[in-house]
Structure 1
Amino acid sequence: MILPNTEVPALSLPLTDGSTWDLKSQKSEAFTILVFYRGLHCPVCKKQLQEIEEILPKFKDRGVDIISISCDTEKRANLSAEKWEISKLPIAYNLSIEEARKWGLYVSEAISDKEPEQFSEPGIFIIRPDFSLYASSIQTMPFARPQMEDILKALDFVTENDYPARGSK
């Protein structure tokens, strides 16, 4: 488990646009949000990423960068971008199971032929520009994820009130 106010693990992954994303190279004004999703097989993930795509400009206006990340292969990640019509939200792929565990994500094994052999369950990590964890939400199932509109409102409150990270003890 990564505690708030501690440095998060390094992370560098390929993106569906052909570039590479590196956490330690990020220069967000306010926060960087990592949205770990289950992969192409997950309809709940599709809905979540489409919602983020729709409100991405609201986050950008607040100096918040967002990336979506999965254990999917390049082929599956590209299919997600194409089939789900995600063109603005960066999609990273090839997250290893070892890396997923460093982030405290739960790992599942396939229960159908539509799923990869292993994949991480969802998680959201809100990271400060100094690469310390501000907040996280980790799920064991595809359900009960925080709504991104709620996160947006919470970040407005956090910024306006200089609200500290909680849960670091």
Structure 2
Amino acid sequence: MNHTALAAGQPFPQLTVKAVGGGELSLGTPDAGFDWQLIVVYRGAHCPLCTRYLKQLNEKLSDLHRLGIEALAVSADSLEIAQHQLADVQPEFPVGYGLSLEQMQELGVYISKPRSPLEAEAPFAEPALFVVNDKQALQLVDISNAPFTRPDLGSLLGGLGFIRNPDNNYPVRGTFK
């Protein structure tokens, strides 16, 4: 399979996934009260690094909210498997499940096959992080092909604070063609 990443500054694909707490989540469209959205794509319950990252996201959530940024996470896990992992995480942010192969491909994330049925039920997304701005364009993108390479949330938060400060007039980076 070819890997095609989303381009910085381009419109973020409007995708909908089922929410662990019921209903649906709209990726790329923040809820009322927020004008930006941070989307964390995680590998799933089989990944202890993902569990730790989601807990760290919980710790940074109020700081993100102060910047007007909604945070959510999504994986390809089934509802039952996601609920099992989230019982440990206790997320204060929305979590989606059931990310399809087609949606993973549209997001341009790396996809892995499980090494065994004990790892995961089906192919899953490797970690990715997207920040969608108020124009519903991709402001920041970080796509990894392994569980141990993902952005430090403290550094990300500092950068987002800088970007969101109107005095800095900071553009979307990486758009040179």
The normalised TM-score by structure 1 is 0.93
- 1:13 to 2:17 alignment: yes
2:63 is equivalent to residue 70 of structure 1:
no
Which position in structure 2 is the counterpart of 1:56?
Answer: 61
* Distance 1:17-1:11 versus aligned 2 partners, 3 A rule: same
State yes or no: 1:23 paired with 2:34: no
Pair 1:114 & 2:122 matched = no
* Contact 1:30–1:62 (CA under 8 A) maintained in structure 2: no
Q: Among residues 72, 94, 97, which one is paired with 1:93 in the alignment?
A: 97
What is the distance in 1 between the residues matched to 2:79 and 2:111? 19
CA deviation map 1:125-144 (0-9, x unaligned): 01012211011000000012
Q: Say whether residues 1:82 and 2:87 are aligned partners.
A: yes
Q: 1:3 aligns with which of 3, 7, 10?
A: 7
Q: For residue 40 of structure 1, give the secondary structure of its aligned residue in structure 2.
A: coil
Residue number in structure 1 paired with 2:107: 103
| 2:159 pairs with 1:164 | no
Mapped partners of 1:13, 1:91: distance in 2: 9
Q: 1:4 Cα deviation (Å)?
A: 1.4
The two structures, once aligned, show a CA RMSD in angstroms of 1.4
Does the CA contact (< 8 Å) of 2:34 and 2:65 recur in 1? no
Q: Is the 8 A contact 1:29 1:63 kept in 2?
A: yes
Q: Which runs of 5+ in 1 are unaligned?
A: none
The number of aligned residues is 168
Q: What whole-Å deviation, never above 9, does each CA across 1:78-123 have from its counterpart, x for those lacking one?
A: 112113232x121100100111111110000011323222101000
Q: Secondary structure at the match of 1:101?
A: helix
Identity %, equivalent residues: 28
Q: Is the 8 A contact 1:77 1:93 kept in 2?
A: yes
| Deviation of 1:20 (Å) | 1.1
Give SS of 2:83's match: helix
Q: Which residue of 1 aligns with 2:140?
A: 135
